Amino acid sequence: MVKDYLKLHFIVLLWGFTAILGKLLTVPPVELVFWRTLLAVLGLGVLLLARKQSWRIPAGQAARLLSIGVLVATHWITFFLAARLSSVSVCLAGLATLALWTSLLEPLLLWRKVRGYEVALGMLTMVGLYLVSQAEFDQLLGLAVAVLSAGLSALFSVLNSRLVQQHSPLRLTFYEMAGACLSIALFLPFYSRYFSEGRGLQLGWQGYDWLWLLLLAGVCTVYAFSVSVELMRRLSAFVVNLTTNLEPVYGIVLAVLIFGARERMSPGFYLGTVVILVSVLIHPVVARWDERRLQRLHGSKQPVPDEVVPLNP
């Protein structure tokens, strides 16, 4: 179990490292996500073959998964754009609002009751977000894009919470990565003409871009995904959710260690980030307590179900 816990923390560390890779890469965000999704599709396809899993699903369900891939692509583009518009730390602080977005979207999309503790934690997150925005006002645009990216991530995670019950996580992610790659490929001609500011497509790699892309797609996406799926078979969803919420912490610490003074923020930023992280980290704990309270209240002898773990491709 200790080995599994260490592995899980290493995976979360890799996910926190993606924003740093986005900062190191010279490829613009749209072209960057095209390469990442293309390499991820190839890697996931190899995993499907190696594990002898069928990739065939009904056409209607395939279309649904491919369409969610468009959300994944948009989430990643805005995520890497936020890292370019601001510091890695500000980007990750904005991304930490994922739990707030999820608590807002789940009642709307899954038709469940609004939970009081989620409203309270959401208000706490908003306080932290306000402190961050006031402390780093010159990076407000990057923070806003990061918050939007978190909302897109929450949206496809909520949609996946139902689809993952019908498909294996590996096949589901393969189709969503394919949808993301295909949607960007179709968008590239319009992007080149209307949104590239006259620079055209910049699909070429420079310097160490090849290394950063291989780390991003091969290690932080395909490897991290395959290991996380394996760990979910042995660790509870509660433990996985709680550990995954440490992603912004690991990312901010790594950014300070790698980029030094460029990532050192004002005290107000760290205060706001701590407030956001407190709300994020205690969310699964309060949710667990609330489930057990309801279990005792209704006198049920059934075990408390774990929360659905959102996929983090």
pLDDT at 305 exceeding the cut of 50:
no
* 57 within a domain of the structure (yes/no): yes
- Kindly report, residue by residue over 113-155, the tens digit of the pLDDT: 877 888 888 888 889 888 888 888 888 999 999 999 999 988 8
CA distances to 8, 99, 132, 175, 265 from 214, rounded to whole Å, are: 21, 29, 33, 20, 30
Report, as an integer, the average pLDDT of 61-65: 88
CA distances to 19, 22, 130, 183, 248 from 33, rounded to whole Å, are: 12, 10, 30, 11, 20
Nearest CA among 8, 19, 23, 82 for reference residue 252: 19
Q: CA-to-CA distance for 185 and 182, rounded, in angstroms?
A: 5
Report, as an integer, the average pLDDT of 157-176: 81
pLDDT band (50, 70, 90) for residue 238: low
301 CB-contact burial (10 Å; exposed 0-12 / middle 13-18 / buried 19+): exposed
Kindly write down the DSSP assignment for every residue of 48-84, as one continuous string.
HHHTT------HHHHHHHHHHHHHHHHHHHHHHHHHH
pLDDT band (50, 70, 90) for residue 304: very low
* 312 within a domain of the structure (yes/no): no
* 307 within a domain of the structure (yes/no): no
- Kindly report, residue by residue over 206-219, the tens digit of the pLDDT: 889 999 999 999 89
Q: Residue 81 belongs to what domain range?
A: 2-298
- 31 vs 240: which has the higher pLDDT: 31
Global confidence as pTM? 0.86
* 38 within a domain of the structure (yes/no): yes
Least confident of 13-22, 30-39, 118-127: 118-127
Question: For residue 313, what pLDDT is reported?
Answer: 53
- Kindly report, residue by residue over 272-287, the tens digit of the pLDDT: 989 988 888 887 788 7
Report, as an integer, the average pLDDT of 157-170: 78
* 304 within a domain of the structure (yes/no): no
* 125 within a domain of the structure (yes/no): yes
* 246 within a domain of the structure (yes/no): yes
Residue carrying the six token digits 């295909």:
182
Domain count for the chain, please give it.
1
CA distances to 152, 275, 294 from 122, rounded to whole Å, are: 17, 11, 22
pLDDT band (50, 70, 90) for residue 16: confident
* 305 within a domain of the structure (yes/no): no
